[in-house]
Amino acid sequence: MLSFLTITQAHDKLKKREISSEELTRACIDRVEKIDGKLNAVVYKNFDRALEEARKIDTAGTFDSPLAGIPYFAKDVYSEAGVPTTGCSNMLRNPPSPDGLRAAGKDYIPPYDSTTTKRLKAAGAISLGKTNTDEFTMGASTETSCYGVTRNPWDTSRVAGGSSGGSAAVVAADECLFALGTDTGGSIRQPASFCSIAGIRSTYGRTSRYGVMSMASSLDTIGPLCKSVEDLAIVLEAIAGKDPLDGTTGDHPVPNYHGALKKDLKGVRIGLPKEYFIEGLNTEVEASVRKAAAVCKSLGALVTEVHLPYTKYAVATYYVLCPCEVSSNMARYDGIRFGHTVEKPKDLLDYYQRTRSEGFGPEVKRRIMIGTFALSAGYYDAYYLKAQKVRTLIKKDFDEAFRGVDLILAPVSPNTAFKIGANSNDPIAMYLEDVFTVAQVMAGIPCISVPCGFSKEGLPIGLQLMAPQWEEGRLLSAAYAYEQATEWHKKRPVLDRA
């Protein structure tokens, strides 16, 4: 099946005219129609337009760009002009009112493109539609989505992870060749790890956030989820770089990531942080990650231990800073310029309150409430300012560690994919799923998740590598060397059984 190809493989066939982009796109569409009912990973199908675009690419006939004619899905927070985009929230989806008195309104349809989907379009990539996410990316399992949970292709009784769970599932299940996600506290890396695919969170400011719905603006990043590290390099190269429309993007030249991939790790210094191999880390996950470190050593890496002493404060710091920024970002959803609306308001305050109370789900409300409290008079210093100071200490941990090593190697998640509903009634338990993925975001450093094994139950395990700011090239090259020395990334879930 053509949808099973990697970008690199498909590009080769397109260039040689062995296949057309239309055939490739149709194969992805057929795959979605055949298996997505089992997964619930796709929330909007833009298939007619995709086929039209594919035919245009075929007619033009130039396949110089490695992404020309390559079909992908974007997480439902990326704006594309004319394409419904809801953040998987009833605030923008606009279903019928709970009392049934008001009929469904229209879904939000952005009138402009995000910089990233625009850059992909310029590179010739074909947008297939939108994937499931936790509501406005708030969650670690896609269970807070207004469309319901995305199921894991490896075991449909389990979550695919989150918040980019839909994007991870469509790639793992070969419904497309790659997908776009966002990572604020682990939302690309953790689902990639749960679904046995590769995902990269780039340096904060390496990729543009313009046109992507914001969650926590000082932490949000956007990036690809792919079937191989080589594919990650190709997509990142196409979407990275300064954007005048996002003032937080840095003016650092984008290297040729793909051309710099190497198959060995000679002389690369890799640190294993003591604080990530702790009680509570699943023994099978630990064994796989330690084995991955041994593989790196066999490829020439020098593996040592490093210390990141403030790691244990990362989750608490994140769950102060993130909700504060959430409470501010969610203020835009007021029913005035877009989204959900209510009828016969008494006054403006009543309109705001009813619109927001009906539109937002429980996790979004919880974060807005925590953030509003932590930023309110009398509490700002104790929570927000304090957390910003601890953020400085967490960042310093990485600055110091990277004086002695080139990369840091750790697990992505303490566990494999959990059962649907297992953490739903306990917000703290859900927040602790992020224990190994939130410290890096405080420092804004790039990190990658690649498959490194399976549990006895057959559930995927992910390996996390981290590099200093702007060193995505180093990260991709090391991940590529590891991947080429192992077979994990070649395993695919079996979904065709009844």
| Residue numbers 247-286 binding other proteins by CB under 8 A | 247-248, 250
Q: Which residues are within 8 A (CB) of 79 and not within 5 positions of it... i.e. 6 or more apart?
A: 85, 110, 112, 113, 114, 117, 211, 212, 213
Query: Contact with other proteins (CB under 8 A): which of 19, 192, 233, 390?
Result: 390
Query: Contact with other proteins (CB under 8 A): which of 7, 285, 303, 387?
Result: 387
Q: What is the enclosing helix (H) or strand (E) of 42?
A: strand 42-45
* C-alpha span between 341 and 354 (Å, rounded): 8
Torsion over CA: 454, 42, 84, 135 (sign): negative
Shortest Cβ 18–other proteins spacing (Å): 37
Report phi then psi at 130, rounded to 5: -120, 150
Catalytic residue (choose from 163, 327, 413, 477): 163
Query: Contact with other proteins (CB under 8 A): which of 17, 112, 380, 490?
Result: 112
Q: Is 104 in the site for other proteins (CB under 8 A)?
A: no
Shortest Cβ 97–other proteins spacing (Å): 13
| Residue numbers 459-488 binding other proteins by CB under 8 A | 469
Q: Is 215 in the site for other proteins (CB under 8 A)?
A: no
Shortest Cβ 68–other proteins spacing (Å): 24
Place of tokens 């501010």: 328
Shortest Cβ 259–other proteins spacing (Å): 26
CB-based contact 191:413 (threshold 8 Å): no
Q: Is 372 in the site for other proteins (CB under 8 A)?
A: yes
* C-alpha span between 26 and 30 (Å, rounded): 6
Catalytic residue (choose from 75, 118, 227, 395): 75
Q: Is 113 in the site for other proteins (CB under 8 A)?
A: yes
Q: 227: which 2 tokens?
A: 């079937």
Site string for other proteins, 392-411 (x = CB under 8 A): xx-x----------------
Q: Is 105 in the site for other proteins (CB under 8 A)?
A: yes
Q: Is 427 in the site for other proteins (CB under 8 A)?
A: yes
CB-based contact 181:222 (threshold 8 Å): yes
CB closer to other proteins, 242 vs 291: 242
Exposure letters 324-353 (e unless 16+ CB within 10 A, then b)? bbbbbbbeebbbeebbbbbeeeeeeeebbe
Torsion over CA: 320, 326, 328, 334 (sign): negative
Residues binding other proteins: what is the number (CB under 8 A)?
75
CB closer to other proteins, 218 vs 486: 218
CB-based contact 169:152 (threshold 8 Å): yes
CB closer to other proteins, 426 vs 457: 426
Site string for other proteins, 283-322 (x = CB under 8 A): ---------------------------x-xx--xx-xx--
CB closer to other proteins, 298 vs 353: 353
Shortest Cβ 186–other proteins spacing (Å): 17
Mapped onto helix, strand or coil, the DSSP state of residue 403 is: helix
CB closer to other proteins, 117 vs 415: 117
Tell how many helices (H) and how many strands (E) occur in the chain: 16, 13
Is residue 187 among the annotated active site residues? yes
Instruction: Bin 59: left if φ > 0, else alpha if -120 < ψ < 50, else beta.
Output: alpha
Query: Contact with other proteins (CB under 8 A): which of 281, 370, 461, 465?
Result: 370
Mapped onto helix, strand or coil, the DSSP state of residue 347 is: coil
- Which residues form the catalytic set? 75, 163, 187
